[in-house]
Structure 1
C-alpha cells in the first residue's frame, strides 16, 4: 500500500490512468486505415520479436471491462487517445462511421461510470497515406491535423473533460526522425528539423480548430527529463545544456514562449523550414493546461561527435533500463511553474516497466515515491492538478513490443484475461473507490 493518502492532495485533485490507442485497441478491421506503426512494426528488425499492435489488448471489444477496472480502482479520469486512422482512414477526406461509433460508445461508457474523459488527438499513429505525402516533414500536415481536430471537436468535444493535441512531440519528431527508434524510423537531420517545427505548428493549428468548434480545456503533453551533467567539466556542462535544449526547452520555449533555444536553431541551421519564425505565434497559442510525462533523468557528458552523450546514473533501474529518480519530477514541475507558465500542470504519464507478474512491490514503491514528489512540488508552489499512472494495462510497448510491461493490470496476451496487480490494489486502497 502507499504511505500517502488521497486527502494529502486536497479537494479537486484528479487521479487517473492513461493508455494510447495503438498500444491497446486492436480492432484493425471495421474500416480503420493503416498507420505508420503498422508498417514500422511489420518491418523485420524494428520491433522486439516482430511484435505488432494488430491485436494488442483488444480494447476495441473489451473496453467495458477496462472501464470497469478504472471505475473500481477509484480513478477519476481516463486519459485515452483517438486513433486518427480509425476516424479518417486516409488521414484526410472520408470519415469512418464505425470509428465514430466506437468512440461514442467509449466516451459514453466513461460518463456512465463517472469517469472523466481526458482525450489526446495524436499518440503516434499517423495514417500511412499522410506519411506517403511526407508526414510530419510536410508543412501541410498542420492543415490535415487541424481538420482532424475539428472533426473530434464537433463529434465529441461536448463530452470531453479535456483535450490534448499531441502526445510527446519530442518522440514524434526527434526520436522518430533523427534517432530513428520509432516510426517512421528516419535518421536524418533535415527530416528531424522539419518534424520538430511542424509538430508544434500543427499543435497550434489544432488548438485554433478545436476552439473554433467549441472544444474547451485544451493542452499539450510534453515528455520532459531532468537534464544533468555527468561532472563539473566544461564539456559536461555544455552537453547537459544542449541535452536540456533538445529534450525540454525546444518544446517548452516554443509552446509557452514562442521561441526556440538558439543552441538548437544554430545546430539545425539551414535544415529548418524557411521562415519558421513567422509560425511562432501559432505554435504558442494560449493553453488552458500543460501535461508533463516524466520517467527519468538524462545525465550527459561531452562527446567527440558534438552532440551530448547520455551516460547511466548510479540509481536503481526499471525493467526497461530507466533510472528511478523521483526528485527529477519535483524539480521539473517547479521549474516549469517558475520559468514558463502559471497554467495548471498535470502529470499525464508516470510509471515503470517491471517483470511479468501480478505482485509488483517495486512498482508500488515507484508510484509512492513519485506521488510524494508531486506533493513536494505543490509545496513549492507548482500548481499541479492531477496525476495519471502509465499504464492501465500491459500493452504493446512500441519498439519493445510485448516484452516490457508498464500496466497496473496484467494482461495475458493469449487469453486477454486482465488481472489487477499489487500496484492497482495500492491505488484502489488510497482512492477508497470514491470520488
Structure 2
C-alpha cells in the first residue's frame, strides 16, 4: 500500500474513460460520424484499428459500473459523445443517444458513484469539421448549443462538469506538432482561441442551468525539458503551447506573452472576459516529462527531442518520474490557486493473461504506488489536491496506437470483450479502502 500521511479522509478516488475510446456502437442508436471515425476509416490508426466496437461499453455499461463498485471508487469521469446526441453536431437531437447517458448516469447513482461529465474528449462531429471545425469562430455557438442540451438533460443528476479534456493536445497534434507547413500556424492559433471561447460560453451555460454545478476544465500539464542546453528556448515555446495556452486564459484571463503575436489577429473586444469565467477546480492530467528540441524547419520552431539515456521507462517508452508529478502539482497549485483533481494518471503497457488466465501487472502497481505517494508529498507541501482518477478503468482504444497499448486496471479481451480485473485493480481497491479508513 502507498504510504500516505497528508490526504484527507474525504479525498475522492475515481477512474476515467472517454466516449470514443470505450463505447463502440459507432453506427448504432442514431449516432453520427466523428472525426475519429474518419481517421480510422482513412487508415490513420496503427494496425488499421477502429473504434467501431472498442470495449462495447454502449451495451455493457452496467457490467462496467459493477466493476467500479467492486473497485470502491466514489467517482467516475466519462465524456459524452457529441455526435451521439447531435448526429450533425447541431440541429436535430438524437433521443436514443440522450437515453444512453440517462441509463449510464442512473446506473452510476444507483451504485453510489458520482458522475463527472466531460463535455468534449476529442470526438468532434465530422459534419462540423466539414465546416471548419474549431478553426471556425462559429464553433463557439455550436458548442454552446451542445452544452445547453447536456445541461438541461442531465443537470438534475450531474453536478460535476468539465468543459474540455486536454485541449492543448488535440490542437497541437492536429494542427502543428512536427508539421513543416509554417502557413498552418494561423490555424493553430485560431483553434486555440475558439476552443477557449467555447469553454467560457459553456461555463456560463452550466452556471445558468445547473443549480449547484461544480465546474472545471482538464489540462495535460507535463514539464517540457530541453534535450540540450541549446534547446532551452524551444522548450520554453513548447511549454507555453502545451501547458499554458488554455489554463492561463481560462484561469488567469491572459494568454502567455510568447503566444500573443499569433493570437492577436483573432482577439476581439471582450474575448478574454468571455474566456475567463469563474471555475471551481483544475483538472490535471499528468503522465511524464516531455523533451523538446529546436527544429527550424518545424512550424513554431520546436519538435520532440531526445531523452537523456538511462531514464526509467514504461513498456510504451514514457518516462517514469514521480517527483516530476509532485512538482507539477505544486506548480499548478501556486499558479492557479484552485483545488486540483488529478483526472488522469496511469501506466501504459502490453499486458496479457498468464497461463492461469490472470493478468499480473506489477509495473503498473509500482507506478501507481509511487505517483500516489508523490501526490501525498505535494499535499504535505501545501498543494490543494482533492481527488485522483486513474486512467483508465478499462483497456481501450488508445487513439493513433489503436489497441496496441493498454492502460486499464481491467484487461479487455477484444475478441470476446471479457473483462478481467488485473493485479493493479485489486491493489487499487485495497489502497482506496485503506485510505478511506485512515
Matched residue SS, 1:179: coil
1:193 aligns with 2:192: no
Q: Distance between the aligned counterparts of 2:331 and 2:268, measured in 1?
A: 27
Q: 2:277 aligns with which of 264, 276, 285?
A: 285
1:355 aligns with 2:353: no
- Contact persistence 1:177–1:187 (CA under 8 A): no
Q: Distance between the aligned counterparts of 1:70 and 1:115, measured in 2?
A: 8
Relative distance call for 1:275 and 1:413 in structure 2 (3 A) is same
Moved more, 310-319 or 363-372: 310-319
- Which structure 2 residues correspond to residues 100-139 of structure 1 after superposition, within 5 A? 100-139=98-137
Unaligned runs of 5+ in 2: 353-358
* Matching residue of 1:409: 410
User: Alpha-carbon deviation of 1:302?
Assistant: 3.6
- Contact persistence 2:238–2:292 (CA under 8 A): yes
User: Alpha-carbon deviation of 1:277?
Assistant: 6.1
Relative distance call for 1:187 and 1:165 in structure 2 (3 A) is farther
Q: Distance between the aligned counterparts of 2:265 and 2:417, measured in 1?
A: 46
Matched residue SS, 1:158: coil
- Which structure 2 residues correspond to residues 9-408 of structure 1 after superposition, within 5 A? 9-28=7-26, 29-44=28-43, 46-179=44-177, 188-214=184-210, 216-231=213-228, 233=229, 235-266=230-261, 268=262, 273-276=265-268, 278-305=270-297, 307-309=301-303, 310-314=305-309, 315-339=311-335, 341-357=336-352, 358-408=359-409
User: Alpha-carbon deviation of 1:69?
Assistant: 0.5
- Contact persistence 1:137–1:195 (CA under 8 A): yes
Q: Distance between the aligned counterparts of 1:98 and 1:313, measured in 2?
A: 51
User: Alpha-carbon deviation of 1:187?
Assistant: 9.1
Deviation per CA, 1:55-81, whole angstroms, max 9, x where unpaired?
A: 100000001110011110111110000
Q: Distance between the aligned counterparts of 1:301 and 1:93, measured in 2?
A: 45
Structure 1 outlier segments of 4+, above 6 Å: none
- Contact persistence 2:291–2:307 (CA under 8 A): yes
Relative distance call for 1:213 and 1:78 in structure 2 (3 A) is same
Q: Distance between the aligned counterparts of 1:237 and 1:180, measured in 2?
A: 18
Q: Distance between the aligned counterparts of 1:189 and 1:241, measured in 2?
A: 17
User: Alpha-carbon deviation of 1:94?
Assistant: 1.1
- Contact persistence 2:227–2:307 (CA under 8 A): no
Q: Distance between the aligned counterparts of 1:387 and 1:360, measured in 2?
A: 20
- Contact persistence 2:148–2:205 (CA under 8 A): yes
* Matching residue of 2:355: none
Matched residue SS, 1:159: coil
Relative distance call for 1:317 and 1:275 in structure 2 (3 A) is same
User: Alpha-carbon deviation of 1:104?
Assistant: 0.6
User: Alpha-carbon deviation of 1:311?
Assistant: 2.1
Matched residue SS, 1:432: helix
User: Alpha-carbon deviation of 1:85?
Assistant: 0.5
Matched residue SS, 2:155: helix
Matched residue SS, 1:62: helix
Q: Distance between the aligned counterparts of 1:179 and 1:419, measured in 2?
A: 36
After TM superposition, the score normalised by the length of structure 2 is 0.92
- Contact persistence 2:190–2:266 (CA under 8 A): no
Q: Distance between the aligned counterparts of 1:311 and 1:161, measured in 2?
A: 43
Q: Distance between the aligned counterparts of 1:10 and 1:274, measured in 2?
A: 44
Q: Distance between the aligned counterparts of 2:98 and 2:173, measured in 1?
A: 31
Matched residue SS, 2:266: coil
Matched residue SS, 1:419: strand
Deviation per CA, 1:361-407, whole angstroms, max 9, x where unpaired?
A: 00101101110111111111111000000000000001000111110
User: Alpha-carbon deviation of 1:319?
Assistant: 2.6
Computed over aligned residues only, the root mean square deviation of the Cα atoms, in angstroms, reads 2.0
User: Alpha-carbon deviation of 1:332?
Assistant: 1.3
- Contact persistence 1:178–1:187 (CA under 8 A): no
* Matching residue of 2:356: none
User: Alpha-carbon deviation of 1:135?
Assistant: 0.5
Q: Distance between the aligned counterparts of 2:32 and 2:296, measured in 1?
A: 44
